[in-house]
Chains A and B, each alone.
Chain A
Amino acid sequence: MAHPLEPRLAAYIATRIPHASDIAVSGLERISGGASRETYRFMLSWIDAARPRHRKLILRRDPPASLIDTDRRVEFEAYRAFRNTSVPVPDMLWLEESPAALDHPFFIAEEITGFQAGPAALFTSPDTVLHRVAEHKWTILGDIARADPTSLTSIVPTPALDQCWHRELGHWEALIDRDADQPLPITRAALRWLRTNPPPPAQRLSIVHGDYRTGNFLYDAQGEIQGVLDWEMAHLGDPLEDLGWSLQPVWTFGRQGLAGGLCPPAHAIAIWERASGLTADPAALHWWTLFNCIKGQGIWVGSAAAFNSGGNRAPIMIYPAWWLINAQERAMLQLMGRL
């Protein structure tokens, strides 16, 4: 049975490639592509200059209520900023911010096929592959940190270097205040410490991916990263923010002592410093890593709130809250030297 979105999607695409004919969408199915957007893969077929064409594409559509509420234009432009650079990203095709065509805003992109993203499968790989993934992972993050941020300055706020921390901490604290339906004493203690001990100003203003972790990139059997995904939290800020997220304890996936479940943190930091040309001051990086525990908690309590409010009853909204709210508090205890 054809998915009911197929004819509507084909009608929309026909308006974007008016020179083509016989446009058809087939094989549309929802895939697990994170909880902040509904992600579908499909095959697009069309006739162009009397020749049949086919292309595998991805549809990312806003859900009724999201785990994180983000601007799909920023996500779309962040991908585009890194097209044809050392940071591998899929080709972004069309952005539609009106809900008219498919009930919610969406964008359509190339599907990068033939590679895996899941951490569980990655951790069964030989050590040589894990080492290569680690090397490539933090090299790419360094490349993101040193990239020219001007491609995003017209669509996202540009904080002063000494205000990057303040802006991010305020944003995520406000979301926790809004969404947490149970008191979080450890999270509150971490918030007090972060406000009392702010980090130094950012070394430079960078594009911050916002969710750069194991599980959000596609890798091949040799350990080469073929696609960096999930840019929906991209913004401008302190490049140590992304490094701190990548070192967040919950992203060890239980492989304690290994950043991202891949390598010792000191090794990851050294790779990043080499690639970015920047310095990861230990005290500043500690602040940003603890901050990222707050950010994580903001996301997990937000997912619970989206479910509890009835805005989105999908199981993917439950799992992060059940699995990670307490783990996130334990990560804070670790970083504050209490565990």
Chain B
Amino acid sequence: MTPPVPAVLAELAALAIRNAAPGIPDGERANALGLTASLLAIAAETWDAAAHHLVEENQAIRALIGETGDDPDLRISALQRENNRLRDALIALHTRAEADGDEPLQVRIWAELVASTERRRLSTAPV
């Protein structure tokens, strides 16, 4: 998820402190509170499964691109860096499969791409 959750929570903490001060116009404070609430709700929804989903996805992509191995560092930032590397490789593989007309491989890649959006899907998402 971008921007990263820790940076967002730090920013929201600073925003809460600013809005606790007197003299903030009611409308501005209400806007800030509403957006803050929405962002906190998304962070809450994604927090518990974030590492699990990245490990699951990294394994699925390694299988597609013919790599073995696992994720030794389970911090979300480390998992995300590895996910970025693997998804770059998946884009390259997908492009080659289209150029080669490799339909079976394209079907497997599309299945993983659909699954990737299910992992990231929010309960409030419009699609």
Chain A residues within 8 Å of B, Cβ to Cβ? 1, 3, 29-32, 181-186, 188-189, 192, 249-254, 256, 301, 304, 307-308, 313, 315-319, 321-331, 333-334, 338-339
Contact = CB atoms under 8 A, between A and B. Distances in A.
Contacts of A253: 126
Contacts of B122: 322-323, 326-327
Contacts of A249: 126-127
Contacts, number: 124
Interface in B78-127: 80, 83-84, 87-88, 90-91, 94-95, 98, 109-110, 113-114, 116-117, 120-122, 124-127
B3 A252 contact: no
Nearest to B119: A326
Interface SS of chain B: helix
B38 A319 contact: yes
B15 interface: yes
A85 to B, nearest CB: 31
Given A31-B27, A315-B32, A327 B125 contact: yes
B117 A318 contact: no
B23 interface: yes
B35 A316 contact: yes
A182 B114 CA distance: 17
A333 B121 contact: no
Contacts of A319: 35, 38-39
A182 B3 CA distance: 10
B4 to A, nearest CB: 8
14 contacts: A29-B28, A30-B31, A183-B87, A185-B91, A188-B91, A188-B94, A192-B98, A307-B7, A308-B3, A318-B3, A323-B42, A326-B125, A333-B113, A338-B113
Contacts of B88: 183
B82 to A, nearest CB: 12
The 10 nearest A-B residue pairs measured at CB:
A183-B87, A326-B120, A315-B35, A330-B127, A29-B25, A1-B23, A327-B125, A327-B127, A304-B2, A29-B27
A30 B114 contact: no
A84 B127 CA distance: 37
A322 B87 contact: no
Given A30-B31, A315-B35, A324-B126, 7 more contacts: A186-B113, A189-B113, A249-B127, A301-B2, A307-B3, A319-B38, A327-B126
A72 B113 CA distance: 38
Interface of B: 1-3, 7-8, 11-12, 15, 23, 25-28, 31-32, 35-36, 38-39, 42, 80, 83-84, 87-88, 90-91, 94-95, 98, 109-110, 113-114, 116-117, 120-122, 124-127
B3 A250 contact: no
B2 A182 contact: yes
B127 A334 contact: yes
Contacts of A326: 117, 120-122, 125
A310 to B, nearest CB: 10
A3 B126 CA distance: 37
A328 B126 CA distance: 9
A61 to B, nearest CB: 14
B8 A318 contact: yes
A1 B27 CA distance: 14
Contacts of B23: 1
Contacts of A181: 2
Contacts of B38: 319, 323
B1 A322 contact: yes
